[in-house]
Amino acid sequence: AGAGPALRSYPHSAVLDGAGAYRLRWGRRGSALALRLEVRTRGYVGFGLSASGGMASADIVVGGVEGGQPYLQDYFTDENRVLQKDPQQDYHLEYAMENSTHTVLAFSRELHTCDTNDKSITESTVRVIWAYHHKDMGEAGQNYHGSNRGTKSLRLLNPEREEVSSASLPYFDLTNKDVPVPDKDTTYWCQMFKIPVQHEKHHVTKVEPLIQKGHENLVHHILLYQCSSSLNDSVLDYGHECYHPNMPDSFLTCETVIFAWAIGGEGFIYPPHVGLSIGTAADPLFVLMEVHYDNPSYTEGLIDNSGLRLIYTPVLRKYDAGVIEAGLWVSLFHNIPPGMPEFVSEGHCTLECLEEALGAERPAGIQVFAVLLHAHLAGRAIRMRHFRNGEEQKLLAYDDEFDFNFQEFQYLKEERTILPGDNLVTECHYSTVDRIRMTWGGLSTRNEMCLSYLLYYPRINLTRCASIPDIMEQLQFIGVKEIYRPVRTWPFIIKSPKQYKNLSFMDAMNKFKWSRSEGLSYNQLVLKLPVNVRCSKTDNAEWSIQGMTALPPEIERPYKTEPVICSSSSCLSCSLFLTLLCIVYVTASAIGNTGPFV
């Protein structure tokens, strides 16, 4: 009968469940997305796209093979999670097979279908939902899938990576040693490491996750930070919970992310002409690895040894990679009122900072090839906007479906040049509808951040290009007239008016009676305030523009997204793959106990 589209048609793959029973393969095909499901069941298979990661208001397709006949049906759910057949069928079956253990379905769908019941597929994070059952749909109507269901965040339109074979290259591992994972929902564990390659320049070409077997759902994400080079080996003795009052001071020197991995993610491969330099005085020597453990069942007695593998080569590449942290400097001056369905914060990598740093180090500009967008639990969407001579360029990166639990570097489709005098604006959208107190900029996941990490080449001496809004004008909004000077306490204390006297500015902001209209007015004010420029070199050195006041650029708000060209189902009737539909039905008696598809 045939094997359907070749596996090379699906360059990306992910196992969606912890048991390895549900594998998704996918690849872009022009204006459509081709998908292949390989599931350990002889019943129905469900797959969907959801804004929340749940069943409500989801775009769903259900299929299988029953009695030798394939079926595939396009559904949607309303806000009450009621499953309904979509009158416009936009998922198109290309191949179906069932054997004694597995069902395989291959199908495609246009990225933008003109169907209000479908979710458009963009470069943003997509919350994929999945389910399967041991019976087919027709045997007993809509069989409930029970515990055979879940959700996973992915980027379905991530560009393909050009990988160079690393089988024979040396590597070193940064792994935790017998970390006792507490019996609580969330733990962040930090451990300091020293890079072992110190005497000769090498390039790291790839970073891979090393997740302890059986802990695939426990280890939620791993971040690797570059720390101050002035530390000594005494910091290597032990790990500690991150963001804890008693954590070592040395952890506070580790601010620049050089690698990020999230659950389900793959390793990071540097472009063939770029590598992360190690082994010289200018390179990372001490690094901090932060591991997020997710233990919602409060399991006791877990011991973890997960970490990262850095693969490197003595064959030097043309360029050293660098990382710039852009956005809002993390501080209490960044704050978000409670009860807001949407609040926008902006962090500015100002033209003044880029003019000075790039003008001195790289007048021809730098090339950005990947971006990590970062916020915390209130984050809903992040965009990295790019301006040159007052004109807005195409977005550098964006994620309109931001998921705190899925953060990794996005490869840019094309490298982007950043020139002296450009402006970069990190625009973060938050929701605080479930909060009754102010949300403050800070390190905890209940605090917030608004950052972009730019991977670029060639490396220059610029590690942070950020901004802080003026706090006094923010406080004037709630009626603060005077603070005690000189400032001797942090957070500082208010002197007048009477209702805030002797309160810290945090307490005063919380005392203010925030309504949504007040929050909106406050948001409009904050976005227009002068900003304090942060323009940092390595090891806490600063460019001369550091600390200066600058005005944010005149920009259009909100950002106008590019119009989407959609294709209705009728446009696809002539698709070549629809004429190549191959059905293979193999009975268990004929195949025997065939192993799973890999």
Q: Look up residue 22 and give its two tokens.
A: 């549900």
Please give the pLDDT value at position 589.
34
- Reported as type and span, the H/E element at residue 408 is none
The domains of the chain are located at: 12-154, 166-315, 321-470+529-563, 471-528
Radius of gyration over alpha carbons of the chain, in Å? Answer: 26
Say how far apart CA 577 and CA 108 lie, in whole Å: 9
Say how far apart CA 265 and CA 15 lie, in whole Å: 10
Of 388, 469, 384, 464, nearest to 428 by C-alpha is: 384
CB-based contact 398:450 (threshold 8 Å): no
| pLDDT tens per residue across span 125-166 | 999 999 999 998 865 455 566 678 999 989 899 766 656 566
| pLDDT tens per residue across span 34-89 | 999 999 999 999 999 998 888 899 999 999 999 899 999 999 999 889 999 999 99
Considering only the C-alpha atoms of the chain, give the largest distance between any 2 of them, rounded to a whole number of Å: 86
CB-based contact 507:368 (threshold 8 Å): no
- CA 33 to each of CA 52, 238, 409, 579: distance values in angstroms, whole numbers, following the listed order: 21, 47, 22, 17
Please give the pLDDT value at position 1.
38
Please give the pLDDT value at position 542.
92
Please give the pLDDT value at position 69.
93
**pTM of the entire structure?**
0.85
Please give the pLDDT value at position 46.
95
Please give the pLDDT value at position 161.
67
Please give the pLDDT value at position 469.
92
Catalytic residues: 188, 374
CB-based contact 538:463 (threshold 8 Å): yes
Evaluate the CA torsion angle 214, 219, 225, 228 in order and state its sign: negative
Class of domain 166-315: mainly beta
- Residue 578's contacts (CB-CB under 8 Å, 6 or more residues apart) are 92, 94, 572
Q: Look up residue 198 and give its two tokens.
A: 């110190």
* CATH number listed for the domain at residues 12-154: 2.60.40.1210
3-state secondary structure 43-72: CCEEEEEECCCCCCCEEEEEEEEECCEEEE
CB-based contact 382:364 (threshold 8 Å): no
Q: What is the mean pLDDT of each run of 10 residues along the chain (598 residues)?
A: 70 86 94 96 95 91 93 93 93 95 96 93 93 80 71 84 71 96 91 91 94 89 87 88 89 83 78 94 91 89 96 96 93 96 97 96 97 92 95 94 86 96 97 97 86 94 93 95 91 95 96 97 96 87 93 85 68 40 38 33
Of 379, 381, 386, nearest to 348 by C-alpha is: 386
- Residue 334's contacts (CB-CB under 8 Å, 6 or more residues apart) are 328, 345, 440, 441, 448, 450, 468, 469
Please give the pLDDT value at position 143.
58
* CATH number listed for the domain at residues 321-470+529-563: 2.60.120.230
Of 303, 283, 282, 89, nearest to 181 by C-alpha is: 303
CB-based contact 504:493 (threshold 8 Å): yes
Does 321-470+529-563 match 12-154 at the fold level?
no
- Residue 446's contacts (CB-CB under 8 Å, 6 or more residues apart) are 376, 377, 439
- Residue 534's contacts (CB-CB under 8 Å, 6 or more residues apart) are 329, 353, 464, 465, 466, 467, 468, 546
CB-based contact 246:240 (threshold 8 Å): yes
Of 532, 520, 436, 447, nearest to 477 by C-alpha is: 520
